[in-house]
Amino acid sequence: MDIRVFDGKKKLASFAADLFSEVIKNNARPVLGLATGASPIDTYKELIKRFNAGELSFKNVTTFNLDEYCGLPKNDKNSYYTFMMENLFDHVDIDLKNVNIPDGNAEDPEAYAKEYEEKIKAAGGIDIQLLGIGVNGHIGFNEPTDRFSEGTHVVKLTDSTIEANSRYFTDSEMPRYAVTMGVGSIMAAKKIVLIATGRAKAQAVFETVKGEVTPSCPASILQTHKDAILLLDKAAASLLK
Ligand code: F6R
C-alpha cells in the first residue's frame, strides 16, 4: 500500500485529482468508481476546476457510485444521487446515461444488485476507485463483520455509521439499510485511492495499515491490493509511525 501524508486538504485533493485526471486522459473510455461523503468533496471541486479551465473532459467517462441509502426518494436532499449531482455531475460535461448510482428503491434489491455488478463488468471494470473510510473501518457501506463481502448487496447499517451520518438527517430519520458495492467489487478496481482526513479517522487508518487483514476492519483488505494508495492528512495519519 502506498501512503502519502499531506499538509492540508487542498494539497491532498489536488494530488487525488491528478490521479483521476491521468486515468481520464489516458483511457478512451475511462471508468471511475466514486464515493460520497465529506472526504471526496475537495477532490470533486478540483476536478470541476480543471474542467472549467478546459483541461479535462468527462464526455467519455462512465461512473459507478459505491452506494446509496435504501428507501429514500432519489431526489431527497440526503440521497447520494443528489449529492453526486450537486457536487460533481451538474458541473461537468458527463453524459448522464453513463452515470450509475445504485438504486435504493429497487423492487427486487437482490436482482438489482446482480445487475449493477454485471453493468460494472460490461463497462470493462473500474479503472480507478475513490474511497472514504468510516470511523469503524468501513469502505462503501461494507461494515465490520466476520467475512468480506463479494459483489453489490443490501446491508443493515451499524450503530456507529448511523451515529456518524445522522447529522445530515436534520428533518427526517436516517435510513437503516443501504445498497453497496461489495468488498470484492471494490478490490476488482485496477487502482484504489482512499482519502482520510481528521483525527476521528486515525484509529481506522492505523488498523487499515498496521492491523491484520480482517473483515472486522474492511479497509484492511487494501493491504492486499496491488495498486492501492492512501491519501491522508496529518491528523488521520497521527497514529502511524
Ligand atoms: C460513501 C461511502 C462511505 C464514506 C465513509 C466516510 O459513498 O462509501 O464509506 O466514504 O463513510 O464518510 P466521510 O467522508 O463523510 O467521513
191-229 pLDDT, tens digit per residue, is 999 999 999 999 999 999 999 999 999 999 999 999 999
In the sheet with 191-196, reading across from the earlier edge strand, the strands are 2-6, 228-233, 191-196, 128-131, 31-34, 62-65, 99-100
Could you tell me the three cell numbers for 75? Answer: 431526489
CA 226 / ligand 1 centre spacing (Å): 22
Q: Which residues contact 111 (CB under 8 A, 6 or more apart)?
A: none
* Residue 32: inside a domain: yes
DSSP string, 62-75: EEEESEEESSS-TT
61 within a domain of the structure (yes/no): yes
If we measure between CA atoms, which residue out of 142, 191, 230, 178 comes closest to residue 31? 191
What pLDDT does 160 receive?
Answer: 87
Whether the CB of 37 sits within 6 Å of ligand 1:
yes
Residue 241: inside a domain, yes or no? no
Of 12, 66, 179, 205, the residue with max ligand 1 atoms within 8 A of its CB, to mutate for a pocket test, comes to 66
The Cα–Cα gap between 185 and 114 comes to 11
Among all residues, which ones are annotated catalytic? 67, 136, 138, 143
How many domains in the chain? Answer: 1
Q: 111 with 124: CB under 8 angstroms?
A: no
pLDDT, position 171: 86
The residue whose CA has the least distance to atom 10 of ligand 1 is: 132
pTM value? 0.97
Q: How far is the CA of 171 from the centre of ligand 1 (A)?
A: 21
Structural domain span for residue 173:
2-233
Residue 163 included in any domain: yes
- Mean pLDDT over residues 79-103, rounded? 98
Task: Using only the alpha carbons of the chain, give its radius of gyration.
Answer: 17
What CA–CA distance (Å, rounded) separates 225 from 107?
Answer: 34
- pLDDT tens for 38-64 read 999 999 999 999 999 999 999 999 999
Supply the pLDDT for residue 71.
93
Q: What distance in angstroms lies between residue 52's CA and the mean position of ligand 1's atoms?
A: 26
Q: Is the minimum distance from the CB of 33 to ligand 1 under 6 angstroms?
A: no
Domain CATH for 116:
3.40.50.1360
Residue 24 within a domain: yes
In the reported structure, the alpha carbon of residue 167 is separated from the centroid of ligand 1 by a whole-number distance in angstroms of 13
Residue 35 CB–ligand 1 contact under 6 Å? yes
CA distances from 148 to 156, 194, 204 (A): 15, 18, 17
What are the pLDDT digits (tens) for 110-146? 899 999 999 999 999 999 999 999 999 999 999 999 9
| Cβ-contact 152, 116 below 8 angstroms | yes
21 domain residue, yes or no: yes
User: 241 versus 117: which is more confidently predicted?
Assistant: 117
Domain assignment of residue 79, yes or no: yes
- Per DSSP, the three-state class of 59 is coil
Give exposure, 31-46, as e/b (b: 16+ Cβ within 10 Å).
Answer: bbbbbbbebbbbbbbb
193 domain residue, yes or no: yes
Query: Is pLDDT at 172 greater than 90 in this prediction?
Result: no
Residue from 82, 133, 169, 230 to probe ligand 1 pocket by mutation (most atoms less than 8 Å from CB): 133
Atom of ligand 1 nearest to the CA of 198: 16
